[in-house]
Amino acid sequence: MKVRKAVIPAAGLGTRFLPATKAIPKELMTLVDRPLISEVVTEAVKSGISDIIFVTARGKAAIEDYFDIDAALESHLEGKGSEGVLREIRHISRMVQVSSVRQKEPRGLGHAVLCAMNAVGAEPFAVILPDDLVDSPIPCLAQLAEVFGNTGKSVVALQEVPPEETHRYGIIEGVQTGPNTFRISRFVEKPPPGTAPSNLAVIGRYVLVPEIFPVLAGLEPGSGGEIQLTDALDRLAARDEVHGLVFDGIRHDAGDKLGFLKATVHYALKDESLGPPFMRYLLDTLAVRGGR
Ligand code: G1P
C-alpha cells in the first residue's frame, strides 16, 4: 500500500533557540533562504506524500501560513514581473495538501503522533521530525517507503552513532537482514550511558502501520516523563515485524545551535550561486585565524 500521509510534529517550544523562538516558531528559522520545515516538506513531496499533517501548538500558525496561498503577494509579484520568485511562491503553496492538528500540552513525541490519529485514519503513514535534515540523492523517506513497499511492515531510519552519543537517541536491538536492513526486536529511548543495546540510533523518519495508535494510547510516560514514540515501537516490535534501514545520506541535527550552524554551512555551500563565494569567504577566514 502506498504511503500518502506524513505527520510532522512541530509543537515543540524550541527552548534551545531562545530568545529567537519567543516570537518565531523554531521550524521557521531560516536555513539559507528557506524555513527549516520546507526542507522536510520537500523531502516528503519527493517521496510521494500528498497530505501533510502538522502537529502544532499555540503560536505556530505561521507554519500553515507559509504553505498557504497568499493571493495579495502573488498579484504584487505578478505586477512587478518577478517571474522566478512568483513561480517559487506558487509552488510552495500548491505542492501538497496541508492540514494541522493541535497538541494542547507538551506530552512528548508519542503523544504528538497520537494527536494526528483521526487525521491519518486506518492507513500506513510517515512521521518526519523536522530537526533531522537528510541530504541524499534518493530522499530518505523514499528509501524507507521502498522497504515498506516490500514488507508492508513499519520501518524506521537508522544511523550508526558513536557510543558516547547513544544516550541522546532511541537505540535499537536487532538482527541484520540485508546489507542495510535490520529486523528490530527492541527499542530503548535514550538509554543511560553504557547501557545501549547497540550503536544504531533511530533518526527522525518513520513509516508506521496504523496499529501504532492504540499502542500509543495505552502508554505511560517514559523517558523524560513524556509519551515516547520509541516505547510504542518497542511494544509493536514484540508482536509484529518492525524493520530498520541504515539510510544513504548526510544527516544534520538542526535541533541544536551547533547542528543548525553546520546545516547552514552545508546547504549554503551546496547553493549554486552562494556556494563558491561562501567557500572563498570560509577559506579566507580560516587562513586568517590559522595565521594568528
Ligand atoms: C527524538 C526521538 C528519538 C530519536 C531522535 C532522532 O528524540 O525520541 O528516539 O532518536 O528524535 O533525532 P529528540 O531528538 O526529540 O529528543
Q: Are residues 123 and 186 in the same domain?
A: yes
Q: How many Å apart are CA 118 and CA 241, to the nearest integer?
A: 24
Q: Whose CA is nearest to atom 14 of ligand 1?
A: 169
Residue 244 Cβ inside 6 Å of ligand 1? The answer reads no
- The predicted model scores a pTM of 0.95
Q: Are residues 148 and 131 in the same domain?
A: yes
How large a percentage of the chain has pLDDT more than 70? 99
Range of the structural domain that residue 271 is part of: 257-292
Place 291 in a pLDDT band, splitting at 50, 70 and 90: low
Residue 130 Cβ inside 6 Å of ligand 1? The answer reads no
Residue 230 Cβ inside 6 Å of ligand 1? The answer reads yes
Q: Are residues 240 and 264 in the same domain?
A: no
**DSSP sequence for 54-84:** EEE-TT-HHHHHHHS--HHHHHHHHHHT-HH
Q: Is the pLDDT of residue 35 over 70?
A: yes
Helix 140-151 vs helix 36-46: crossing angle, to nearest 10: 40
Mean pLDDT of 19-28: 94
Q: Are 43 and 143 in contact (CB under 8 A)?
A: no
Closest CA to 37 of 18, 15, 55: 55
Residue 54 Cβ inside 6 Å of ligand 1? The answer reads no
Instruction: Specify the higher pLDDT residue, 287 or 177.
Output: 177
pLDDT for 40 equals 97
CA 223 to ligand 1: nearest atom: 8
Q: How many Å apart are CA 13 and CA 61, to the nearest integer?
A: 13
- For the chain, the distance separating the N- and C-terminal CA atoms, rounded to the nearest angstrom, is 60
Q: Are residues 96 and 215 in the same domain?
A: yes
Mutational test site, ligand 1, from 36, 129, 186, max ligand atoms within 8 Å of CB: 129
Q: How many Å apart are CA 241 and CA 224, to the nearest integer?
A: 27
Q: Are residues 207 and 267 in the same domain?
A: no
Q: Are residues 54 and 81 in the same domain?
A: yes
Residue 170 Cβ inside 6 Å of ligand 1? The answer reads yes
Q: How many Å apart are CA 270 and CA 149, to the nearest integer?
A: 31
pLDDT for 231 equals 98
Residue 188 Cβ inside 6 Å of ligand 1? The answer reads no
Q: Are residues 164 and 77 in the same domain?
A: yes
pLDDT for 292 equals 58
pLDDT for 101 equals 97
Q: Are residues 89 and 219 in the same domain?
A: yes
Q: Are residues 16 and 118 in the same domain?
A: yes
Q: Are 6 and 51 in contact (CB under 8 A)?
A: yes
Q: How many Å apart are CA 203 and CA 4, to the nearest integer?
A: 20
Mean pLDDT of 138-159: 98
Q: Are 108 and 228 in contact (CB under 8 A)?
A: yes
pLDDT for 289 equals 79
Which pLDDT tens digit goes with each residue over 47-102?
Answer: 999 999 999 999 999 999 999 999 999 999 999 998 999 999 999 999 999 999 99
Task: Report CA(203)–ligand 1 centroid distance (Å).
Answer: 7
Q: Are residues 181 and 217 in the same domain?
A: yes
Q: Is the pLDDT of residue 150 over 70?
A: yes
Judge if the upstream peptide bond of residue 19 is cis by omega within 30 degrees of 0.
yes
Mean pLDDT of 238-255: 97
Q: How many Å apart are CA 23 and CA 251, to the nearest integer?
A: 27
Q: Are residues 147 and 195 in the same domain?
A: yes
Which pLDDT tens digit goes with each residue over 151-190?
Answer: 999 999 999 999 999 999 999 999 999 999 999 999 999 9
For the chain, what is the mean pLDDT?
95
Q: Are residues 111 and 202 in the same domain?
A: yes
Mean pLDDT of 249-265: 96
Domain total of the chain: 2
3-state DSSP call for residue 248? coil
pLDDT for 137 equals 95
